[in-house]
Amino acid sequence: MAKWHSSLARALQLPADALRPAPRILLSGREEALIGGKAVLREYTPALVRVSRGDLTVKIEGTALRILAMDALGICVGGDIETVSFSE
Residue 1: what pLDDT? 46
Q: What is the DSSP letter of 5?
A: H
Q: Residue type at 24?
A: R
| The CATH number of domain 18-87, selected from 2.60.40.2000, 3.40.50.150, 1.10.10.350, 3.20.20.100 | 2.60.40.2000
Residue 86: what pLDDT? 87
* pLDDT, tens digit (0-9, with 9 covering 90-100), for 4-61: 666 777 777 776 666 665 677 889 999 999 998 888 899 999 999 999 887 889 999 9
Q: 45 CB contacts (<8 Å, ≥6 apart)?
A: 65
Sorted by where each begins, the domain ranges of the chain are 18-87
Give the C-alpha separation, 62 to 75, whole Å: 16
pTM listed for this prediction: 0.74
Give the C-alpha separation, 43 to 64, whole Å: 14
